[in-house]
Structures are given as C-alpha cells and as structure tokens.
Copies of this chain bind each other. A is one copy, B any other.
C-alpha cells in the first residue's frame, strides 16, 4: 500500500486516538495543514498563536492522554517552545509536527523567510531537543521506523516529542510495509523488581502506619483506577501534594486532604509526617509541593515509587516500571491506622452582606459551585493556591501547572480541555495578570461551540508577585487596565453572558446566571488589591525557604 509521508504520520496518530490537531498554519507546513483538513477523521483546531496552541494541546492531552500540534518552521515552533517545555516538565505527551522548507532549499542553503538568514537548517531542531523526549527529522526513507520510535517514546515517557518534515518529503509517497513495525515496550528489570519488592515488604512489615501520597503521574500513566481500588480495599489514607490535586478522587474514603508542608493543613501535615511509611506514588519533592521546602518527612520513612525507578530510604532501584511495582504491591499487607484526618474543604460560603468580595466568601462560593464531573482549570498564582484546598466533587478534575508554572497557561489549556471533553463543564479561574498573556484564546471557545464558565480575578496587578517580592508597589506588578468583561464581545463570543462584579450580591447573581444561562459565561471579579486566599498568604510567610536564601 502507498501513502504520503504525512498521511502515514496522521494515520498512526489516529490509531493512538488523535482526533484533533492544534496549531497555527504556515507556508512550510502547508502539506501538513492540507492533510489534516482533508482527513475526515481529523479536525483542525486553529489557535490564535503557537504558544496558545501548545497550551491548548497540553490541556487536551491531560484529558485524552495525547495531543497533536502542528506549527511552521522557525517562527512557529519557537513560539510554541515554552508550552512544550511545560508539557515536558509535567509529563504531558504532545506530538509536535513541524513543517520545514523543501529539502532542496535546505541542501542548497538558500536564504528563505523564517530562517536566521544563514542557510543553516538545523538550529531549531537543536533548540527543541531539550524539551522533547525524542525527536526526528522524518524522511520518506526513515518514516516507518522513526515514527514508531518517537510515538513510542511519547507514550512511554508521557512527554512531548518533536518531528520535522521538509515540505516535499511530507508529500512524497511511500510504500507501507505489510508487517507492522514493532517497538519493544519498557520492561522492569526482573532481578531489580524482585529486590525492590523484597525491600518494600520488609519496610512495610516493620511499619505500624502508612500513608499514600498520590501523584498526578498515576493519571498520566493510566493507573488511577488500579490505585483507587487498592487504597480503598486496603483502607490506606491518602493525601495529594499541590501539583497532584485530584490525582485520585477527593470524594472517596481515605482522602485526607492536601499535604504541602507548612503551607498546607496542619492536621494533614502532622499525620503524614508521623506515619512510619510515606508511600509516594510519583509525586515530586518540588518547592510548591513541599510548602516551600517546609515538608519534613525523614528520608528513612519515605518510599518513592516513580515512573522508572524506586527509592527506599537511601537506596535507589533503577529500571523499575511504576505499574509493575503497584501490581505487585496489591498483594502486600499495608499497615492500617485506626484513624486519619477527615478532609476539610473550604467552609460553606457565609450568608453574605452586600459588601466588597472577600476571599473567604469568593473561594467558598467557587467550591460550592463545583459539580461532579466538572473540570476546573486553575491558573498559577493566587487562583490555583486558593482553590488547592477546596474539596473537589466526585470525578471532577483540578488541572493546574504548578511545576512549570507558566502564567497564561490556563486560558488556552481550558480551551483544549473543553475540546477534549465536550460533555463536561469547564470552569476556568484565572488572575487577570496571567490572563493577559493569552486572553485572545477566549474567542476559540465560541468558535468551536464550547461553553465554559470563566472567572477572571481583577485585583489590579500580579498579586502573587506582590506577595513574593520585596516591594509590592513597584511598577512592574502593575498592568494595563483592561475592561475584562468586554473581552468576550470583542473576541466574537456573540451570545455569552458577561458581567463585572464587585460585591457579594453581584457575584451571587452572576454565578446564578452562569449556572443557568446555557451559554458561555465570563465573570470579571473585582477584589481588593491585596486580598489573597490563605494558602497564598501562607506561602508569603516562607519566602526564605522558597528561594533558598
């Protein structure tokens, strides 16, 4: 059978469940753009710019497990790089396809647009490589094996991969081999696995109490149901760290709350830090997961079961796949504690007077607004910190980007998540400073028939920075003074409900409208310049440990 190189790529992606391709078109990518649009099983998802497209692909992949992104040479791919690096950091697989100039143009080192003018054509693949777990220049000769290598890397590592194709190569016809290409899958080293399980058995056998920290990696690796059943069957209490919120369901028995060192709930912290064994399933000991490095779990009590390795105390075991360990662990006895903390959400919103909008009221209202199955996208900053202690309803998701923590991620990521799950309600909560980076993507929700509920906090500046810097009133924390509630109209969201609210009653009324209006909704929430939710205020207390001074 014959097909073009690009059709081969797209067909393989479809086999992996890809139905949408995000991107911005460009002339060197025309053969890719053409093929996507002409394939009746694929939908082209045009974004306003490539950074936004990469964030949208990220949001989509967090739901669907894989996303595809198409950009053009140089200008397009470099614009997407920050978003791709974020997906790399946070184990989100994105298949990035870049259209390059004609191979003859490259060979002749011609000076064409979208180049540095030096006739050199491998600058950008080199720049992209650190943010990809595999990369390839695809040609008619290598397409079958290289495609298999990179797609396997994306799925095994749960990280972005980068492929580039010259325009003429994309359209070249190849003969597809009748044998399907085979790529060996990652396997645990059997001897190491035996050793690690023996060590685990001993550790757990000696312990009187154990707690699980459930990492978001479980979700990326498709291990959520297995672990959810296991913790419930064994009665093991579990917490999540900031980056991992809703890695497991927060509505089922066993969930005790967020563990985040001294910026998290004290009862949860004391419980976790007092257990004989802390079984960390994929969580990262990063600054924002550990309450600015205030977490205090003795390494002798810590067991880190990571994607490809396990650490028990001071001993590291390499070439061990997380799924294999969790499989074997299901057979083990786990020490049970007699009692563990009850998860505390935010308190119910107090019946309010019609005053300016306080933080307790606002975040409690948002918590109470959430339904089962909702997807909440919380932007880095006070928004995600404030919602991190909300108790999420069953089967709801809390998406944030707290390791890469690139402000602006949330708005396009919400668009991608909405496309990936058209039957679920999408709620975006963003601060206005972060929103300004990528706000134009709002227009895409309407364009693609999606109806999110968007809350934009307007507190006249980068509030999280005001909390973390030395002199909050320096000019760099100020912003252009937008009329946020007018954005949907300007960006073509023709029938949306939009409001600007600055009192509790106005907020209540707008949230009622957003709940019932049947359209997209955009609510600009005006709050006091320095009002921040408790977790953000707590982080402010630990600036010294946060920055390692």
Enumerate chain A interface residues (CB-CB to B < 8 A): 23-27, 30, 33-34, 36-38, 44, 46, 48-51, 74-75, 78-79, 81-82, 85-86, 88-90, 101-102, 104-105, 108, 110-117, 123, 126-127, 130-131, 167-168, 284-288, 293, 402-408, 436-440, 443-444, 446-447, 462, 465, 468-471, 474-484, 486-487, 489-492, 547-549
Contacts and interface: CB of A to CB of B under 8 A. Distances in A.
A248 B88 CA distance: 47
Given A116-B131, A404-B75, A547-B102, A479 B437 contact: no
A475 B437 contact: no
Contacts of A126: 130
Nearest to A444: B480
Contacts of A465: 25-27, 30
A33 B470 CA distance: 11
A446 B486 contact: no
B37 A474 contact: yes
17 contacts: A30-B465, A46-B478, A46-B479, A78-B82, A79-B406, A102-B549, A111-B403, A113-B287, A113-B404, A114-B404, A114-B405, A126-B130, A127-B127, A443-B481, A443-B482, A447-B481, A481-B492
Contact of A489 (B86, B462, B490): B490
Given A117-B284, A480-B492, A168 B475 contact: no
A88 B114 CA distance: 12
B30 A112 contact: no
Nearest to A88: B116
Given A111-B284, A483-B490, A85 B116 contact: yes
B51 A51 contact: yes
B113 A288 contact: yes
Nearest to A479: B46
Contact of A491 (B288, B474, B482, B492): B482
A426 to B, nearest CB: 17
Nearest to A445: B480
B30 A402 contact: no
B468 A27 contact: yes
B38 A474 contact: yes
Given A30-B470, A404-B113, A469-B30, A548 B37 contact: no
A2 to B, nearest CB: 20
Given A25-B462, A75-B405, 11 more contacts: A25-B476, A26-B465, A30-B465, A34-B470, A89-B115, A101-B548, A115-B403, A439-B440, A446-B480, A447-B481, A490-B491
A46 B481 CA distance: 12
Given A36-B476, A480-B444, A108 B288 contact: no
A213 to B, nearest CB: 15
Scoring A75, A85, A288 by chain B CB atoms within 10 A of each residue's CB, the highest score goes to A75
Contacts of A474: 33-34, 37-38, 44
Contacts of A30: 465, 468-470
Contact of A469 (B27, B408, B481): B27
A87 to B, nearest CB: 10
Contact of A51 (B74, B79, B110, B284): B79
Contacts of A470: 30, 34
B286 A476 contact: no
B476 A483 contact: no
A329 B548 CA distance: 60
A184 B345 CA distance: 65
Contact of A49 (B404, B437, B477): B437
Scoring A85, A126, A438 by chain B CB atoms within 10 A of each residue's CB, the highest score goes to A85
A36 B127 CA distance: 30
A446 B479 CA distance: 12
Scoring A25, A126, A288 by chain B CB atoms within 10 A of each residue's CB, the highest score goes to A25
Contacts of A477: 25
Contacts of A88: 116
A24 B433 CA distance: 10
Contacts of A436: 48-49, 440, 443
A115 B101 CA distance: 32
A51 B51 CA distance: 9
A112 B88 CA distance: 15
Contacts of A478: 46
A46 B433 CA distance: 11
A30 B482 CA distance: 24
B492 A489 contact: no
A477 B440 CA distance: 17
Contacts of A27: 465, 468-469, 547
Nearest to A80: B82
Given A465-B27, A475-B44, A547 B167 contact: yes
Scoring A438, A482, A487 by chain B CB atoms within 10 A of each residue's CB, the highest score goes to A482
A76 to B, nearest CB: 8
